[in-house]
């Protein structure tokens, strides 16, 4: 694998990571929209949504961590790459320009952010359910 292949692989993994985050945001948006549009309280539906979202969030976090580890491995390979004498000047020029911009996030920070977002999403879903329950109780009396 040459230097350009490693750079391309790094950005392919970056695109994959971005898609996992985009999917995560879209799912949260859809869940919150669905929860806000429901009128009648229903603990079973809210419980199922909570469990299914938890499963999704767990698998999504795992995928994000896997791709992040792949990016870290590719970045390590990029930094360890020894160019051939014919490509040395080009690689060194590109490396000095590109290397400072190739960064990977801290995995612990990513995990914390994802878990905090998961908990806030679940809390919001249940807060909406509690609001529906209270509103239904007030209108019956």
Per-residue pLDDT of the chain (141 residues; tens, 9 = 90+): 888 899 999 999 999 999 999 999 999 999 999 999 988 888 999 999 999 999 999 999 999 999 999 999 999 999 898 888 888 888 888 888 888 888 888 999 999 999 999 999 999 999 999 999 888 776 654
Print the domain residue range for 110.
3-140
- How many domains does the chain contain in total? 1
Q: Rounded to an integer, what distance in angstroms lies between the CA atom of residue 18 and that of residue 25?
A: 11
Kindly tell me the burial class for residue 98, based on how many C-beta atoms sit within 10 Å of its own C-beta (0-12, 13-18, 19 or more): middle
DSSP 1: -
**Vertex 122 angle, CA 26 and 110, to 5°:** 65
Total-model pTM: 0.86
């Amino acid at each position: 694998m040459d230097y350009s292949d490693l750079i391309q692989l790094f950005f392919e993994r970056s695109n994959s990571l971005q898609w996992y985050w985009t999917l995560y945001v879209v799912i949260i948006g859809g869940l919150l929209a669905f929860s806000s549009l429901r009128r009648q309280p229903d603990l079973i539906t809210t419980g199922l949504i909570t469990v299914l979202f938890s499963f999704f969030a767990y698998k999504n976090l795992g995928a994000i961590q896997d791709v992040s580890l792949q990016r870290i491995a590719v970045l390590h390979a990029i930094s360890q790459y020894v160019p051939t004498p014919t490509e040395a000047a080009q690689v060194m020029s590109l490396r000095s320009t590109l290397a400072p911009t190739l960064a990977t996030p801290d995995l612990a920070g990513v995990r914390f952010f994802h878990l905090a977002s998961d908990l806030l999403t679940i809390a919001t879903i249940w807060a909406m359910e509690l609001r529906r329950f209270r509103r239904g109780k007030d209108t019956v009396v």
